Amino acid sequence: MKRILSLFLLGIVIGFILFVPTFYLFCLSGMAPVTVSAKELPLEHLMAKTALHAKMDKEIIKTVPIPSDTTSVKAGAHVYIENCAVCHGGPSQSKTFIAAGMFPRPPQLFVGRGMVTDDLPGETF
C-alpha cells in the first residue's frame, strides 16, 4: 500500500514538473489562444479573478475620504465623463465601439449588476 501511495505521489510531482516546460513550449509554439476573439485557456478566468479580488480585498478603502456634497459630486461626474464614460457608459448611453472591442469587457456602470448608484464605500466590480 505504501509503495502504491509513493508511486502515486511521485506521479503527481513528475506531472507538475513536466507541466511547466510543456506549457512554456505550447505558448512558444504560437498555438496559445491570445487574440481577443480566442477562447480563454482553462482556469485563466478563475486565476485572474482570484488574484484580482485578493489584491482588491487587501487594498480597498473602507471609508470614503471625500465629502458627499454637491461640489464633490459635480467634480466626480466631470472626471467620469472625461475619463471613464467612453468605456463604462453613462445614463441612457449605449455601449461605444471602444467598449465593445475591449478585452476583458468593461462593465457598464449604469446598467444591470454593475450599476454604481447605490454602491457601498469601497465596493467595486
pLDDT tens-digit profile of 39-95? Answer: 877 788 888 888 888 888 888 877 778 888 999 989 999 999 999 999 998 888 888
Q: In the structure, what pLDDT confidence band is assigned to residue 125 with cuts at 50, 70 and 90?
A: low
In a domain, 120, yes or no: no
pLDDT tens-digit profile of 93-124? Answer: 888 999 999 988 888 888 776 566 666 666 65
In a domain, 10, yes or no: no
Domain limits for position 88: 33-114
CA distances from 17 to 29, 32, 76 (A): 19, 20, 50
How many CA atoms lie less than 13 Å away from 111 in the CB half-sphere?
13
pLDDT tens-digit profile of 21-42? Answer: 998 898 889 888 877 777 877 7
Q: How many domains does the structure of the chain reveal? A: 1
In a domain, 50, yes or no: yes
Give rounded-to-5 percent helix, strand, coil for the chain.
55, 0, 45
In a domain, 11, yes or no: no
In a domain, 119, yes or no: no
In a domain, 121, yes or no: no
The three cell numbers locating residue 6: 509513493
